[in-house]
C-alpha cells in the first residue's frame, strides 16, 4: 500500500504526534568553551581539552546561549525558568567523547508555551510547547571515509543547542510541517540560528502514534530520528501513520522503538528499541553552577524583543490592505522588513514599495544571489525611484533597465537628478506624442484598417511602436488614450 494512498484514506484512527526540534544556536563559540562553533571547518579543527572531554578540563557557560534561549522561549509564549541547572545524560557513542552529554532534564530553561500555526485553509491550530532545554551537540561519525574504519569529527561537539519539545497536539503531517516552518522562520528572524537544515543547524525527531478517533488514551509511540527537511517530516509522518494503521488493523502490536527514515524510499525502519529515561542515569552536573536569571536580566531580554513576524504581517494587512501571503513574505525576512521600514519613510505609496520589494527587487536579489543587506541601492534611493515611477516622471522599464543600474554604480546619486542627466524623464509635450502617434498610424495603415473592422488586438502594436519612438520616455497610459482618440477620429 503506498504512502499517498494511506495518507488520503479515511480511517477510524487519528494521528497523535509531537516534535523534538534541535536548533543549533549561532554563537561564535561553543556552549562551554571558546572553540569556534562555525560550520564547515576541516575535521577536528575546532576542538580543545573541553570539547574532547579530557580529564580535568572544566566547562564554563557561554552567557549568549542563555539569552538566545530566552528569546526563542519568549517568542513561543513560554514561562522562563529563572533558576535552572544542567544535568549529565550518560550514554556511549563514539562521537560523544566524555561518555555523557550536558543537557537539562528536570529543570529546563523554558516551559509551558504554545505556537499558533496557520494552515493552508486559513485556519489556525494551537500547538503546545512542553519545554525548551539547553544542551551541547555531539560530534559526527562518518562511515564513508574509509573502507575498514569509521571516522569521528568532533568540531560539532559542544556546539550549543536548544531542544524544543512540543506537546502531542499534532494531528496531521501538514500541522507538523507548518509548525516546523514557523519555528525555522522565528529562529532566523530573532537571529537565534541560521535554521539551515541542510547543514544540520535545525534537525527534527517526530514522535508518532495512533489511536481510535474519540479515544483520549495515547497509543504506543515510535520516534523517527534526524529528519533533515520539512518535506521529509511530512513524508515520514504520513508513512509511519499508514504503517501503524495497517499494523493495528491486522492485529499487530506496535512496539515502542526508534526509527530511521529512508528519504529515497520514503519509508521508516527500526533502529533500536526505545530507551527509557532512567537508562540515561541523569544527575546534576557537578562542574556547572545553576543558572540564575535575575528579574533585571529577564526584563532587558523582554525589552529587546522585536515585533514578531505574525504581528508585523497582521499590521501590514490591516494598514495597507495587502493580502496575508504578501505580508507574510515581507514579515518573515527581517532584513527585508528593516529595509522596508527605512524606505517607507520616504516613499509616497507604501503599497507600491511592497510590490517593488516582493517583485522587482526580489528578482534582482535572486539573480545576483545576494540578500537585501548586500544590495547596492539604499532604501532612500529605491524610494526615490518608486516615487518617480508613481508620479509618471519615468517609466518602470527605464527605471529598472537604466536608472537603477546607474544608481548602483553611483550610490551617492540623487535618483531624480540622475534620471534627468540620463534623459530618462517622460516626455510631457503632448504635441510630440501626437506626432509620434501620427507617424506610427501612417506606417501601419493596414493595421489601422483592420482596427476599424473590429480587430482591436492591434492596439497593443500601436502603443508599443510609439513607446519605441519615445524610447520609453512616455506614459503608456497617456499614449493609449491618444491613440484611441485618434483612431476614433479616423473611423
Q: Percent of the chain scored above 90 by pLDDT?
A: 64
- In 306-435, where do the E strands start and end? none
Structure-model confidence comparison of residues 377 and 452, the more confident one: 377
Query: What integer is the mean pLDDT of 147-152?
Result: 91
Residue keyed to cell 499534532:
170
Alpha helix ranges (H) inside 17-121: 63-75
Contacts of 27 (CB under 8 A, 6+ apart): 37, 62, 64, 65, 68, 160
pLDDT band at 430 (very low <50, low <70, confident <90, very high): low
**Which residue segments constitute the domains of the chain, with CATH numbers given?**
3-297 (no CATH), 307-421 (no CATH), 430-490 (1.10.10.410)
Query: Would strands 257-262 and 222-227 be described as parallel, antiparallel, or unpaired?
Result: parallel
Q: What is the pLDDT of residues 303-331, one digit of tens each?
A: 999 999 989 999 999 988 888 888 988 99
Q: How many CB atoms lie within 10 A of CB 137?
A: 23
* Distance separating alpha carbons of residues 187 and 207, to the nearest angstrom: 22
Q: pLDDT at residue 337 above 90?
A: yes
Structure-model confidence comparison of residues 148 and 438, the more confident one: 148
Is the CB of residue 113 less than 8 Å from the CB of residue 76?
yes
- In 345-445, where do the E strands start and end? none
In this prediction, residue 5 carries a pLDDT of 40
Is the CB of residue 382 less than 8 Å from the CB of residue 356?
yes
- pTM exceeds 0.85, yes or no: no
Q: What is the pLDDT of residues 400-411, one digit of tens each?
A: 998 999 998 887
Structure-model confidence comparison of residues 278 and 91, the more confident one: 91
* Distance separating alpha carbons of residues 429 and 436, to the nearest angstrom: 11
Residue-averaged pLDDT of the chain: 89
* Distance separating alpha carbons of residues 332 and 315, to the nearest angstrom: 13
Per DSSP, what are the bridge partners of residue 101?
A: 89
Q: pLDDT at residue 7 above 60?
A: no
Q: Which helix (H) or strand (E) holds 17?
A: strand 13-24
Tell the burial category of 159 from Cβ atoms under 10 Å away from its Cβ (0-12, 13-18, 19+): buried
- In 235-380, where do the E strands start and end? 257-262, 267-273, 283-284, 291-292
In this prediction, residue 409 carries a pLDDT of 87
Query: What integer is the mean pLDDT of 97-108?
Result: 94
Q: What is the pLDDT of residues 228-286, one digit of tens each?
A: 899 999 999 999 999 999 999 999 999 999 999 999 999 999 886 655 556 788 999 99
pLDDT band at 10 (very low <50, low <70, confident <90, very high): low
Tell the burial category of 22 from Cβ atoms under 10 Å away from its Cβ (0-12, 13-18, 19+): middle
Query: What integer is the mean pLDDT of 173-198?
Result: 93
Query: What integer is the mean pLDDT of 375-398?
Result: 92
Query: What integer is the mean pLDDT of 401-430?
Result: 84
Strand order in the sheet with 100-103: 100-103, 87-90, 283-284
Per DSSP, what are the bridge partners of residue 142?
A: 151
Closest CA to 479 of 440, 424, 422: 440
Buried b / exposed e over 312-332, threshold 16 CB at 10 Å, is bbeebbeeeebeeebbbbbbb
Q: pLDDT at residue 1 above 50?
A: no
In this prediction, residue 163 carries a pLDDT of 97
DSSP 280: G
In this prediction, residue 472 carries a pLDDT of 67
CA angle 63, 66, 70 (to 5 degrees): 145
Amino acid at each position: 500500500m503506498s504512502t499517498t494512498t494511506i495518507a488520503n484514506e479515511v480511517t477510524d484512527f487519528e494521528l497523535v504526534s509531537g516534535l523534538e526540534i534541535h536548533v543549533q544556536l549561532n554563537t561564535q563559540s561553543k556552549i562551554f568553551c571558546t572553540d569556534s562553533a562555525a560550520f564547515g571547518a576541516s575535521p577536528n579543527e575546532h576542538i580543545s581539552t573541553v570539547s574532547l572531554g579530557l580529564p580535568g578540563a572544566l566547562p564554563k557557560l557561554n552567557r549568549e546561549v542563555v539569552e538566545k534561549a530566552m528569546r526563542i522561549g519568549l517568542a513561543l509564549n513560554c514561562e522562563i525558568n529563572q533558576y535552572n541547572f544542567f544535568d549529565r545524560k550518560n550514554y556511549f557513542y563514539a562521537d560523544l567523547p566524555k561518555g555523557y552529554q550536558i543537557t537539562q532534564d528536570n529543570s529546563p530553561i523554558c516551559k509551558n508555551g504554545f505556537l499558533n500555526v496557520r494552515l493552508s485553509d486559513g485556519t489556525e491550530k494551537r500547538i503546545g510547547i512542553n519545554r525548551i532545554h539547553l544542551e551541547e551537540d555531539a560530534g559526527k561519525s562518518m562511515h564513508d571515509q574509509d573502507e575498514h574504519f569509521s571516522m569521528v569529527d568532533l568540531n560539532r561537539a559542544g556546539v550549543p543547542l536548544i531542544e524544543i519539545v512540543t506537546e502531542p497536539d499534532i494531528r496531521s503531517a501538514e500541522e507538523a510541517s507548518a509548525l516546523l516552518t514557523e519555528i525555522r522562520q522565528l529562529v532566523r528572524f530573532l537571529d537565534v540560528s541560521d535554521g539551515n537544515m541542510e547543514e544540520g543547524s535545525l534537525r527534527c525527531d517526530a514522535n508518532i502514534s495512533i489511536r481510535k478517533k474519540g479515544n483520549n488514551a495515547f497509543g504506543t509511540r515510535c520516534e523517527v530520528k534526524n529528519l533533515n527537511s520539512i518535506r521529509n517530516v511530512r513524508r515520514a509522518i504520513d508513512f509511519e501513520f499508514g504503517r501503524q494503521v495497517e499494523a493495528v488493523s491486522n492485529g499487530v502490536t506496535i512496539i515502542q522503538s526508534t526509527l530511521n527514515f529512508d528519504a529515497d524510499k520514503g519509508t521508516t525502519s527500526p533502529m533500536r528499541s526505545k530507551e527509557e529515561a532512567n537508562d540515561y542515569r541523569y544527575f546534576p552536573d557537578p562542574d556547572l553552577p545553576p543558572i540564575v536569571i535575575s528579574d533585571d536580566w529577564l526584563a532587558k531580554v523582554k525589552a529587546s524583543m522585536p515585533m514578531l513576524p505574525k504581528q508585523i504581517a497582521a499590521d501590514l494587512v490591516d494598514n495597507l490592505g495587502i493580502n496575508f501571503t504578501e505580508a507574510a513574505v515581507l514579515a518573515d525576512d527581517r532584513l527585508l522588513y528593516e529595509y522596508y521600514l527605512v524606505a517607507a519613510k520616504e516613499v509616497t505609496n507604501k503599497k507600491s514599495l511592497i510590490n517593488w520589494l516582493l517583485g522587482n527587487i526580489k528578482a534582482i536579489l535572486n539573480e545576483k544571489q545576494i540578500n537585501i543587506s548586500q544590495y547596492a541601492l539604499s532604501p532612500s534611493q529605491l524610494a526615490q525611484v518608486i516615487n518617480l515611477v508613481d508620479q509618471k516622471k519615468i517609466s518602470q522599464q527605464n527605471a529598472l533597465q537604466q536608472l537603477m543600474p546607474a544608481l548602483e554604480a553611483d550610490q551617492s546619486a540623487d535618483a531624480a537628478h540622475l534620471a534627468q542627466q540620463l534623459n530618462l524623464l517622460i516626455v510631457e509635450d503632448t504635441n510630440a506624442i501626437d506626432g509620434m502617434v501620427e507617424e506610427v498610424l501612417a506606417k501601419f495603415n493596414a493595421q489601422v484598417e483592420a482596427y476599424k473592422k473590429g480587430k482591436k488586438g492591434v492596439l497593443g502594436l500601436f502603443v508599443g511602436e510609439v513607446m519605441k519612438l519615445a524610447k520609453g520616455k512616455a506614459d503608456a497610459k497617456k499614449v493609449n488614450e491618444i491613440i484611441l482618440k485618434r483612431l476614433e477620429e479616423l473611423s
